[in-house]
Amino acid sequence: MASYIRPEDDPGSEAAESVRPEWLRPAPEGTSWITEEGVRAHLALKGDAPALRAALHAGISEEEYVTTVKAPRQFVRSAGGTITP
């Protein structure tokens, strides 16, 4: 994947933009704790998940989806990597 990232790309800051600061609070050892507002946002997103999945999967059969997910996983295993759930 690193070979696809251009020098001007900044995946860390792009990922940080998807999490609002009020959803997390700093914790010891550089970790974070989710705030009550973060929990509410998580539950709202979780509630939207079935509709989002349906929209994203429109026109794609379950068989095609499974193949699409399994192929990259096998690439990783073939290259000696591991897949964690």
Rounded alpha-carbon distances, angstroms, from residue 58 to 11, 35, 52, 54, 61:
28, 34, 10, 6, 8
Task: Please write the tens of the pLDDT for every residue from 25-60.
Answer: 988 888 889 999 999 999 998 999 999 989 999 999
Range of the domain at 19: 11-78
Residue 5 lies in a domain: no
Residue 5: which pLDDT band, with cuts at 50, 70 and 90?
Answer: confident
Residue 49 lies in a domain: yes
The residues, any chain, with a CB within 8 Å of residue 34's CB and separated by 6 or more, are 23, 24, 42
Residue 6 lies in a domain: no
Asked whether residue 84 carries a pLDDT value surpassing 90, the answer given is no
Number of domains composing the chain: 1
Residue 43 lies in a domain: yes
> Do residues 24 and 38 lie in contact, with contact meaning Cβ atoms separated by under 8 Å?
yes
State both tokens at 59: 């026109």
